[in-house]
Chains A and B, each alone.
Chain A
Amino acid sequence: MRFLAVVVLFILVGCRPLENTGQAATGTEGGVRVSLELVGPPAVGPAEVRVYLLGGDNKAVTDATVTVTGTMTHAGMEPIIAQAVPAEGGLYRTEDFAFDMAGDWLLEADVTLPDGGEVTDEQAVTVPGG
Chain B
Amino acid sequence: MNRLHRPAWPRQPRGPDLLRLPGLRRFFRWRYARLVFQLPLLLLAVFVVVDGLTGDQLAPRNLATTTLWLHYRGLVVIALALLGNAFCAACPLLLTRGLSRRLERLLPRKLSWPKLLKNKYLVITLLLLFFLSYEVFDLWASPWLTAWLVIGYFAGVLVVDTLFPAGTFCRYVCPLGNFNFAFATASPTQIAAVDPDVCSGCRDKPCLHGRESYPEPSQAQGQAAFIPLSSIQNANGQGFFPGCETDLMVPTVVSNMDCTLCMNCVRACPYDNVALTVRAPGLEWTRAPWAKRGGFAAMLLGILLTFWGLLNAVAMTGPYYRGAEWLATVLGTRNEALLLILIFAAVTLSGLALTTAMSLLADRLGGVNNSAKSTPKAALMRWGYVLLPLGFGFWAAHYLFHFLTGALSIVPVTQHFFEFWGSAVDPNWRLSRLVPTRWLFPIGAGFVSVYSLLAVWVAFRIALRDFGKRGVLALWPPLLFILAFAAFSLLVLAQPMEMRGTIFGPTF
Binding site for B on A (CB under 8 A): 3, 10, 13-14, 16, 18-19, 21-23, 44, 69, 71-79, 81, 101-106, 124-126, 128-130
A57 to chain B, nearest CB (A): 33
Pairs across A and B, CB under 8 Å, 27 listed: A10-B49, A13-B54, A14-B53, A14-B147, A21-B56, A21-B58, A44-B496, A69-B429, A73-B58, A73-B499, A73-B506, A73-B507, A74-B60, A74-B402, A75-B70, A75-B409, A76-B432, A77-B432, A78-B433, A102-B497, A104-B500, A104-B508, A126-B505, A126-B506, A129-B317, A129-B318, A130-B496
Nearest residue (CB) in B for A100 is B437
Q: Contacts of A76 on B, CB cut-off 8 Å? A: 60, 66, 70, 402-403, 405-407, 409, 432
Query: C-beta contact mask, B55-77 vs A, less than 8 Å → 1, else 0?
Result: 01111111001100110000000
The 3 closest A-B CB pairs, nearest first, are A76-B406, A22-B508, A129-B318
Alpha-carbon gap, A104 to B498, bound state (A): 8
- Is A77's CB under 8 angstroms from B151's CB? no
Does B105 sit at the interface, judged by CB under 8 A? Answer: no
Q: Which of B471-508 contact A (CB under 8 A)?
A: 496-501, 505-508
Q: Contacts of A104 on B, CB cut-off 8 Å? A: 141, 499-501, 506-508
Does B148 sit at the interface, judged by CB under 8 A? Answer: yes
Q: Which of B72-129 contact A (CB under 8 A)?
A: 99
Nearest residue (CB) in A for B60 is A75
- Is B497's CB under 8 angstroms from A103's CB? yes
Q: Contacts of A69 on B, CB cut-off 8 Å? A: 429
Q: Contacts of A13 on B, CB cut-off 8 Å? A: 53-54
Does B144 sit at the interface, judged by CB under 8 A? Answer: yes
Q: Contacts of A79 on B, CB cut-off 8 Å? A: 60, 429
Q: Contacts of A73 on B, CB cut-off 8 Å? A: 58-60, 138, 140-141, 499-501, 506-508
- Is A75's CB under 8 angstroms from B500's CB? no
Given contacts A71-B58, A104-B500, A106-B58, contact A78 B429 (CB under 8 A): yes
Does B441 sit at the interface, judged by CB under 8 A? Answer: no
Q: Contacts of A14 on B, CB cut-off 8 Å? A: 53, 144, 147-148, 151
Does B321 sit at the interface, judged by CB under 8 A? Answer: yes
Q: Which of B426-483 contact A (CB under 8 A)?
A: 429-430, 432-433
B64 to chain A, nearest CB (A): 9
Nearest residue (CB) in B for A24 is B508
A77 to chain B, nearest CB (A): 6
- Is A102's CB under 8 angstroms from B508's CB? no
Given contacts A18-B144, A126-B505, contact A77 B499 (CB under 8 A): yes
Nearest residue (CB) in B for A127 is B498
Binding site for A on B (CB under 8 A): 49, 53-54, 56-62, 65-66, 69-70, 99, 138, 140-141, 144, 147-148, 151, 317-318, 321, 402-403, 405-407, 409, 413, 429-430, 432-433, 496-501, 505-508
- Is B406's CB under 8 angstroms from A77's CB? yes
Q: Contacts of A19 on B, CB cut-off 8 Å? A: 56-57
Nearest residue (CB) in A for B402 is A76
Alpha-carbon gap, A76 to B499, bound state (A): 12
Nearest residue (CB) in B for A105 is B506
- Is A75's CB under 8 angstroms from B508's CB? no
Alpha-carbon gap, A91 to B432, bound state (A): 31
Alpha-carbon gap, A95 to B64, bound state (A): 34
Nearest residue (CB) in A for B68 is A75
- Is B508's CB under 8 angstroms from A21's CB? yes
Q: Contacts of B66 on A, CB cut-off 8 Å? A: 75-76
- Is A74's CB under 8 angstroms from B499's CB? yes
Q: Contacts of B56 on A, CB cut-off 8 Å? A: 19, 21
Alpha-carbon gap, A103 to B321, bound state (A): 11
Point out the residue from A78, A81, A102 that lies within 8 Å of B318, measured CB to CB.
A102
Given contacts A75-B409, A101-B497, A129-B496, contact A18 B57 (CB under 8 A): yes
Q: Contacts of A124 on B, CB cut-off 8 Å? A: 506, 508
Nearest residue (CB) in B for A80 is B429
Given contacts A102-B497, A102-B498, contact A78 B430 (CB under 8 A): yes
Q: Contacts of B321 on A, CB cut-off 8 Å? A: 129
Please name 15 further chain A to chain B contacts, defined as beta carbons within 8 Å, in addition to the given A19-B56, A21-B508, sorted by A numbering: A14-B144, A18-B144, A23-B508, A73-B60, A73-B501, A73-B506, A74-B60, A74-B69, A74-B499, A75-B59, A76-B432, A77-B499, A81-B430, A101-B499, A102-B497
- Is B141's CB under 8 angstroms from A74's CB? yes
Point out the residue from B53, B57, B60, B318 that lies within 8 Å of A72, measured CB to CB.
B60
Q: Contacts of A10 on B, CB cut-off 8 Å? A: 49, 53, 151
Alpha-carbon gap, A104 to B70, bound state (A): 17
Q: Contacts of B430 on A, CB cut-off 8 Å? A: 78, 81
- Is B499's CB under 8 angstroms from A103's CB? yes
B95 to chain A, nearest CB (A): 13
- Is A101's CB under 8 angstroms from B496's CB? yes
Given contacts A103-B499, A129-B321, contact A77 B99 (CB under 8 A): no
B435 to chain A, nearest CB (A): 13
Nearest residue (CB) in A for B66 is A75
B321 to chain A, nearest CB (A): 7
Alpha-carbon gap, A71 to B506, bound state (A): 13
B78 to chain A, nearest CB (A): 15
Given contacts A10-B151, A72-B60, A75-B66, contact A129 B499 (CB under 8 A): no
- Is A72's CB under 8 angstroms from B508's CB? no
Alpha-carbon gap, A71 to B66, bound state (A): 14
Alpha-carbon gap, A65 to B54, bound state (A): 29
A105 to chain B, nearest CB (A): 8
Alpha-carbon gap, A72 to B403, bound state (A): 15
A27 to chain B, nearest CB (A): 16
- Is A77's CB under 8 angstroms from B405's CB? yes
